Each structure stands twice: as structure tokens, then as C-alpha cells.
Structure 1
């Protein structure tokens, strides 16, 4: 099922997508279950928000597609998942603006599949990873590429406010093996390929990350990006689509004063 976090008239709620409506839930499904209130809200009348709010952290996986490793000048991907962190303050939702920082002259898009963690997880084995996964959503791991190179580490480059758009829904029944990802900028396809091209699969990523960090409900894990990453500029619109989940579209704006 597809679960949305949305607002109507200033009230923030959760709902299950049913045709053109959202069936309203009684609370946050991760903590209060999937009981519905009986109310239905037309999707057209709802403002979709980031479908999951990480109370703790966003974990990223770098260099997880061979073709992306090669386009970045590498030969082989890491033998183990390469982890980094983005602050939860970088998360925004569908339609929200990616604001370019003054400190960077090259900001890139990176379309990715995101795992949404549903329960406390520590030292989870790969064969039990599905037990702690609530669902999946679409993400854009926005990166200040020049700062990534100059800093020789990734925190600042990937941590700016608005640098982690996610949405539009959390899909709880997603089949990763059949999914494809496509990223467009102003309608032009930049990235396209199957999710099965990931070097380290979802189960191994969750197991590895949980051996390092205690994962908490709502935490996100970004699973890496395929080849085709490139710069975005003020006035652009970036759209990341994952078959079976939906499309995440965000405009890009110049630095704010």
C-alpha cells in the first residue's frame, strides 16, 4: 500500500492512497498502526509532504552502482557498503524547493531508492532485514560536488537544508527486484536503469548499517545512485521516478538572502 503524509487546512495527517482519495489514518502508521478514521480526502485537495520524517538520521550509501563508480573516476565499487550521514534537517517533500547554497558552484542531483526503517534495529542479519523495513520511497541525494571534492569527506556536501527530497509516498509492498529508476531534469532523461544494478542489495545494506548504527523507526537509508548524475541550476525542475512507488518532483532555486 502507498502511505502519504499530507496537510489540509494546516492540519498534518497520514493516509492510505485509494484511487484518487486518501483514506485518513488515526495517527502515524509507524507508531499507531493502520487503523482508519473513515474520512476520505481527495488527493487533489491534499498537499503531499515528506512521507516519513527521520527523527534520528538519514544514512546514505555511496558508490553502489558500478556505472556511477566509473563515471566518478573509479574502477571498482567498495567491497562493503560505503556509509555516510545526512542530517534530518536536509529532508523536504514533494514539490518543495531545492535551495542552492552560496558555498557551492556545482550542485548535482542523484536519484535514489530510499528504505524507510519501521522498528528499532541493531545487528540485524540480512535474512531478517525485511522485519525492520516499513517500506520504500523515492529520494534525491542532492550533493554539492565541488565541496565533496575539496573537503575530502561528504558531510557538508550532502548536508545542506533541502538536500534530501523524498516522496511522494511510502510503498509498503514494493518489489525491489522489479523496480526501475529514472531521473529527469526539465523533462530530459539523465538517469535510467533497474534497481537490481545495485552492488549491495537492500538486505545487505540494512544488515551492514545496523551493525554500525542503531536504526530507529523513521530512519532513512538511501541506497545509492546510478550513472548520469549532473548539475542543477536555479529554475530547473528535477524529477525522480521509481516504478511502483511514484514520482518526486522538486524545483531548484538560487541561494536565499
Structure 2
């Protein structure tokens, strides 16, 4: 099953989507309030889902309220190599890869997150933009891993490569964060350290880029990443923490408007997003949702 946010009859609800597509409503008003609960209570709420919805359902991004999205960097060998290739200050990436403390950075407020099927953005002032396919941890208010979702940590390689201090502009802008299609409960994932991750970028009738990796190649443990995020931060409605990417195209690849990015994490789901230019007007709908 997947824990989802969805809209039906003009109202937004939290529910579970069964493998056969059946959607059942949960007894909580928001995902944030669900993540405010202890792990055992979250499981109890999820397993007490109600009757099936009988109307049309539109799925929404699996994050709301005060829940924040954060991300990890340089957690795979390929990520370290790619950052060194693009950067004018390559040593910082080798240093953080080998350091005890991981690179963690803020990625998105809940209301700015794009969902499955919704557009993602590439910056008009960037020469090289790439998808970053990642497993994302869903953490409750005490920092426990209670689920997993798929993240596209869309990034400007050219802006970050110019100067590491430009990381926020390379990583945080309209359409730069997509999550979905829902949250796979942690108790349904036997081993999150051995999940295949794949990405396909479709361009017209062809494939512009594709690749696969595995969470088994992560340089850091999932619990360690979560623990560092919660060291000096309080998340009353939990947090989403993306765990970094092991799939980075060569520097001669960049996303184009009209591309479609498909990211699959085995056992979690597939996230699909078309690509548009990240102008303020193109993503004004996020604030009105």
C-alpha cells in the first residue's frame, strides 16, 4: 500500500492506496499530523483505514503542513565524482564524502513540492540542469524512519559548479522538488539498503538518458543521515529527507523543456514529471493549491 494525499469532491484527504488502486480514507486530517505521531500509532492509524472512496480521486504530493523537505549530498561515489567534474572548487566534495558529518541542505517547503504527473522546472539562467533520482526517507517527529518515497532533486549543475556557495540557487527554486507517488510504509520494505533505483529521460519518441543504481552503494547509513538532520532541529510534523543520488549524467547532458523524467525506486513506486522552464508564472499554481 501507499499512504497518499488526494482530492475528491473538492476536499483534500489522507488515505491509503491499495495495490489494486482502491483508495481508503484515514482518520487524520493531514499527513503532517500523522507524522507527528509515534511510529506504532502511525501504523495503527494506517491499518484502520475506512471504506473505499467511490468517486474520482486526484493524487497530491505526499507532504503538507509544517513538514519540510531536506536533502543529502555526495552520498554516492558517482555523486562525488560528478561534483568534482563540474566544480571550480572540487576538493570540498571529496572532503565531505569522507567526513563524519554529511552534507544536508534544505530543499523545499511542503507547499512548493510537485507531485506525480505534475511539471518540474529547469532554471532559464542555467546551462546544465539534471534530474537527481533519490530514495527519500519519511521521518516522524522523533526522527524515526516510518516510510519511503521517491524524490527528484532537480539541480543546476552549472550554477553549483561555478561556486559551491551558489548551492541554494542550484537546488531551491520553482519546480526543483518532486515527490511521489505516495509513501510506502517502512514496515512493508524489508531492506531499504538494497533497493534498485532507475531513471529514464524521454525526449520526443526517444530516450535522452537512462541509468540504474542501488541504495546498496550509499556511503552512509540511512539512520545516520536521519540522526544528523535531527541533531539540532525540531520537526513537529516530521520531515522528508532525500538521501542523495548515484545517477548523474555526463556534463554534456541537460534537461530540455518537453522532456519527461521517470524515476523508479523498487518497492516504493514510480515518479513521472514533464519538464518546463522554471519561471515564477509557470509555478504560481503551487501557492494557490
Q: TM class, shorter-chain normalised?
A: 0.7 to 0.9
More strand by share: 1
Corresponding residue number in structure 2 for 1:8: 8
Describe the SS at the equivalent of 1:51: coil
1:134-192 CA distance string (max 9 Å, x none) = 21100000112222123422111111021110000101132303311001100745231
- Indicate the residue corresponding to 1:233 in structure 2: 256
| 8 Å Cα contact 2:175/2:278 also seen in 1 | no
Does residue 100 in structure 1 map to residue 122 in structure 2?
A: yes
Q: Secondary structure at the match of 1:5?
A: strand
> 2-side partners of 1:155 and 1:72: how far apart?
15
Is 1:134 the counterpart of 2:156 in the alignment? no
Taking the TM superposition and a 5 Å limit, the aligned residue runs for 1:35-114 are 35-41=48-54, 45-53=56-64, 55-73=66-84, 76=94, 77-80=97-100, 81-88=102-109, 89-114=111-136
Contact kept, 8 Å, 1:54 with 1:220, in 2: the verdict is no
In structure 2, C-alpha distance between the alignment counterparts of 1:90 and 1:158, rounded to whole Å: 13
The separation in 2 between residues aligned to 1:87 and 1:254, in whole angstroms, is 18
Choose which of 189, 203, 212 in structure 2 pairs with 1:192: 212
After TM superposition, the structure 1 stretch with the greater mean CA deviation from structure 2, 8-17 or 137-146, is 8-17
Structure 1 alignment gaps of length 5 or more: 122-131
Structure 2 unpaired stretches of 5+: 35-44, 85-89, 282-289
Instruction: State the match for 1:31 in structure 2.
Output: 33
TM-score, reference length from structure 2? 0.77
Find the aligned partners of 2:65 and 2:176 in 1 and give their Cα distance.
14
Question: Is the 1:22–1:40 Cα contact (8 Å) retained in structure 2?
Answer: yes
Going from structure 1 to structure 2, the CA distance change for 1:209 and 1:105 (only over 3 Å counts) comes to same
Counterpart in the other structure of 2:160: 148
- 1:98–1:163: 8 Å Cα contact kept in structure 2? yes
Counterpart of 2:5 in 1: which secondary structure? strand
Deviation above 6 Å: which 4+ runs of structure 1? Answer: none
**Contact persistence 1:30–1:134 (CA under 8 A):** no
Root-mean-square deviation (Å)? 2.2
1:51-98 per-residue CA deviation (whole Å, 9 max, x = no partner) reads 123625322111100122123326842323111112315411111111
Match of 1:127 in 2: none
Residue 196 of structure 2 corresponds to 180
8 Å Cα contact 1:58/1:85 also seen in 2: yes
TM-score, normalising length: structure 1: 0.86
With over 3 angstroms needed to count, the CA separation of the structure-2 counterparts of 1:56 and 1:78, relative to structure 1, is: farther
Match of 2:227 in 1: 207
Q: Would you say the 8 A contact 1:54–1:218 is kept in 2?
A: no
**In structure 2, how many angstroms separate the alpha carbons of the residues matched to 1:20 and 1:87?**
29
Shift of 1:205: 0.6
Q: Does residue 253 of the first structure (1) align with residue 254 of the second (2)?
A: no
How many residue pairs align between the two structures?
245
Q: Do the aligned partners of 1:90 and 1:159 also contact (CA within 8 Å) in 2?
A: no
